[in-house]
């Protein structure tokens, strides 16, 4: 069952519909409810390798749905510490729980200054309203 529309407080967002939860110098990242809803049922997740370096505003993997293949655009730069293997084997978890069990990667931040460039929940909702 698909998750109800939500945009949790306390997360940071980018205009490409990715979110980040920050704890110290580690960010957990995934796609927003809007992104998973727009894509439809996810059928494949191509993650980056653990140990890879990803850069803000660049692709770090892709998700495939019944509708399209989409690049994942990183909201932050860092080294991949962990990939959510549950999503690799069952991508539809993202549709069911995009902010919980459906997270995609955890990274160690290389530039905490990038956090200031992300949107808070109110700014992200305004962005969605303008689409």
> Is 2 inside any structural domain?
no
Number of domains in the chain: 1
Residue 69: give the domain boundaries.
Answer: 12-129
Check residue 127 and give left, alpha or beta (phi > 0: left; psi -120 to 50: alpha). alpha
Which residue, 124, 130, 106, is CA-closest to 6? 124
The CATH number for 20's domain is 2.40.50.100
Q: Is residue 80 part of a domain?
A: yes
Q: What is the pLDDT of residues 35-89, one digit of tens each?
A: 999 999 999 999 999 999 999 999 999 999 999 999 999 999 999 999 999 999 9
Q: Where are the beta strands (DSSP E) in 1-131?
A: 12-13, 18-23, 26-31, 42-46, 53-54, 59-65, 69-73, 78-83, 105-109
Helix (H, G, I), strand (E, B) or coil at 127: helix
Provide the Cα torsion 31, 54, 84, 14; round to 10°: -20
Query: Is 4 within the bounds of a domain?
Result: no
pTM of the model: 0.95
Note whether residue 67 is domain-resident.
Answer: yes
Residue 4: which pLDDT band, with cuts at 50, 70 and 90?
Answer: confident
Q: Partners of 109 in the beta sheet?
A: 78
Cβ proximity of 105 and 84 under 8 Å: yes
Is residue 126 exposed (0-12), middle (13-18) or buried (19+ Cβ within 10 Å)? exposed
Report pLDDT digits (tens) over 76-105: 999 999 999 999 999 999 999 999 999 999
């Amino acid at each position: 069952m698909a998750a109800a529309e939500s945009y949790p407080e306390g997360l940071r967002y980018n205009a490409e519909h990715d979110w980040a939860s920050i704890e110290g110098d580690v960010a957990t990242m995934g796609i927003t409810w809007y992104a998973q809803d727009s894509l439809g049922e996810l059928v494949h997740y191509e993650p980056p390798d653990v140990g890879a370096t990803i850069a803000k505003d660049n692709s770090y993997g892709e998700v495939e749905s019944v509708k399209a293949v989409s690049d994942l655009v990183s909201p932050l730069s860092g080294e991949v510490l962990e990939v959510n293997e549950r999503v690799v084997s069952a991508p539809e978890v993202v549709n069911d729980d995009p902010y919980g069990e459906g997270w995609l990667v955890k990274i160690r931040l290389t530039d905490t200054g990038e956090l200031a460039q992300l949107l808070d929940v109110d700014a992200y909702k305004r962005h969605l309203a303008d689409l």
